[in-house]
Amino acid sequence: MNRLYNKVGLACGLVAASLWLPVKADPTGQMDYAIEQISVYGRKQNLLGLSSSASQGLVSAEEIALRPLSRTGEIMEFVPGMIVTQHSGSGKANQYFLRGFNLDHGTDFATYVDGMPVNMRSHGHGQGYTDVNFLIPELVGQISYAKGPYDAGAGDFASSGSARISLADQLAAPQLGLTLGSYGYQRYLATAQQQWQGERLLYAAEFQTYAGPWTDVDEDVHKLNWLTRYLTTVGAGQLSVSLMAYDNQWQSADQIPLRAVQSGLIDRYGSLDTGLGGDSSRYSLSANYQDDDWSASAYLIQSRLRLLSDFTYLLNDPLAGDQFEQLDQRQVWGGQLSRHWHLWLDEVRAELSLGNELRFDDIGKVALNTTNAGVYTGTVRDDAVNELSNGLFSNLEAELNEWLTLRLGLRYDYFSGEVQSDTALNSGRSDDGILSFKGGLSYLLSDNVELYGSLGQGFHSNDIRGATIHVDPLSGEAVSPVDLLVRSEGAEAGLRYYDADWINFSAAFWTLDFDSELLYVGDAGSTEPSRASRRHGLELASYLWLNPRLSLDAEVAWTSARFRQDEAGEGRYVDGSVPWVASAGVTYQPADSGFYASARLRYLGKRILDSAKQHEADATSLVNLSLGYRLTGWDLKLDVLNLLNSYDHDIDYWYSSRLPGEAEEGVEDLHYHPVEPRSVRATVSYRY
């Protein structure tokens, strides 16, 4: 704890010191372009003739600032159709749902921050682990998203889509902020910037504490974020260098069985194991350069996670209990280099890009241990992993005429890695390569309407430990290794209607096939087999501007998710899939001063909990409200989260667990994590 408070003191001291450093003007005007990024049009951006599909879009910093957020991970909900939940404590990666996928903590949706991949391969808690808690929302400049496997620039995990989060290049104004709220919520924010000829330096620090509403557990969250970002002009382009630091520790209130609440053993906010939680850290250094012809990025990431969980209680060990510990310690380095050409092919104008993406994960320790009250009692498996990937990609965009545009993409990825396991039979090397084709057409039907058609192949990597495994670490039984890379194939047809005066509307019908959904399960240290699957669905998104200050938005997505193969004793439904999701909001934007407000409804439909659809989770509806008043130099805001005090569930699972006095085989039951009750958070910000 002292280590964390020392870091808080250092961060606050550095920001405070920066406020007194001299700020120089930029007489050259070379940095003025960044000011415009603060009010990037986002949903108001006219993407006709620019986007490759109807399900591609932009989100601006202004939109992010106005939406009430209960947790950082909800930034991902700006991707239409994305739902973000949590099944345990505040410090770990969220659960994500999109296009019929229970993405767990990020598998099959690729996320990048300032050129750095967020998804973690062969991770101790889940493949594709995507934790965005290291982001400071006020320092997000823009989110660019695309759904489906149609972008050759996005490789691993990008089958259902991808999001590229850009850090801010310019602050609207430096600020000091304080937020106090229900259940011991506190947040302190400080940002500052310096500017001189052709150069800019940004600082930001965030510190957050939270106790939570739980009956038996004080979450005791202590989260610290730090960002230093330097921008300068180099030649005809811009260079940015960012240093980010994140440190978090917390206690967890995990999912609970319904029968424990119904019997009165615990209440709906109670816990059966009060010794759960974790600590996590992430430190990164990244650099990005871009001009009209070249784009380059490089990064170095060091991350660590220790997590204590307990989902089955007394099912596996009736004496010591089923608590377990997951560890992940790694360094990740890599980068991307691409070249862009403007071409004329006969009388056809074309854009060609070629690129290379390199990544290496040096995982010093990825382990699964048994514990009792947080004390180590045994090892299920303990590994060290090296995993290298190299992706070559190209995109060609040709304007066949003034209405019709052809897009073609090609990507080849090669993966290679080695596992050194505490069980010799599970050690070994694995490698695999995969070639992916992408293609699409867009037709500008009128000044307001564009039609799109896309086809594409994608993939995700499996945990490399699943590709070298031969012995189940729990049972000792022989098991077969799985493929390292798994193919996906998708198609999409859609349209976009855009009128700058009042609306941006899009509709997309899509389908996506997976050869297999084999998955390495970090909670068990083994592979979990699954079958080939097919998903298809319809998505509608509409953004309306009633006047310069008042806007409405609505997003609806329907999905059908089925396995393509029969299996004895199993159904065809993809368990964990969500057929319906929706969100809607109304926003009254501030002028230079005065009142502003935002209200949002989020709907997560009934979830299918088993392949036979014998068990479904009830739908979840939440309403959040934000009210604010802006004065010269001051900003006052009140957020009311879960305004209607819904008793719905954040997430649900159906599996067996065992409570005291129950039969040895346990009881199949609904296990859930409740949404947090109504809470209020008040923020005071001073902008200077």
197-251 pLDDT tens trace? 889 999 999 999 999 999 999 999 999 999 999 999 999 999 999 999 999 999 9
Q: Which residues contact 20 (CB under 8 A, 6 or more apart)?
A: none
How many Cβ atoms from other residues are within 10 Å of residue 350's Cβ? 17
CA distances from 249 to 208, 220, 310 (A): 11, 8, 18
CA separation for the pair 678, 656 (Å, rounded): 31
- Comparing 14-23, 335-344, 609-618, the range with the smallest average pLDDT is 14-23
Whether residue 26 is predicted with pLDDT greater than 70 in this model: the reply is no
The predicted structure's pLDDT at residue 100:
87
What is the dihedral angle through the alpha carbons of 509, 117, 533, 559, rounded to the nearest 10 degrees?
-30
Tokens linked to 81: 């159709």
Question: Domain holding 195: CATH number?
Answer: 2.40.170.20
Domain containing residue 641:
2-687
DSSP 3-state assignment of 15? helix
Report DSSP state, residue 136: -
Mean pLDDT score, 43-63:
92
- In this prediction the pTM is 0.92
Identify the residue whose tokens are 């939680």: 277
What HEC string does 401-469 produce? Answer: CCCEEEEEEEEEEEEEEEEEECCHHHCEEEEEEEEEEEEEEEEECCCCEEEEEEEEEEEEECCHHHHHC
Tens digits of per-residue pLDDT, 485-526? Answer: 999 999 999 999 999 999 999 999 999 999 987 655 555 555
CA separation for the pair 648, 604 (Å, rounded): 10
Backbone dihedral region of 403: left (phi > 0), alpha (psi from -120 to 50 degrees) or beta? Answer: alpha
The predicted structure's pLDDT at residue 91:
83
The predicted structure's pLDDT at residue 19:
35
Tens digits of per-residue pLDDT, 438-464? Answer: 999 999 999 999 999 999 999 999 999
CA separation for the pair 430, 432 (Å, rounded): 7
Mean pLDDT score, 620-636:
95
CA separation for the pair 44, 420 (Å, rounded): 51
Contact between 294 and 336 under an 8 Å Cβ cutoff? The reply is no
**Beta strands 616-617; 607-608: pairing state:** antiparallel
Mean pLDDT score, 367-391:
96
Cα distance from N-terminal residue to C-terminal residue, the chain: 33
Starting from the edge strand earliest in sequence, which strands make up the sheet with 101-102, in order? 83-85, 95-98, 101-102
Report DSSP state, residue 120: B
Domain count within the chain: 1
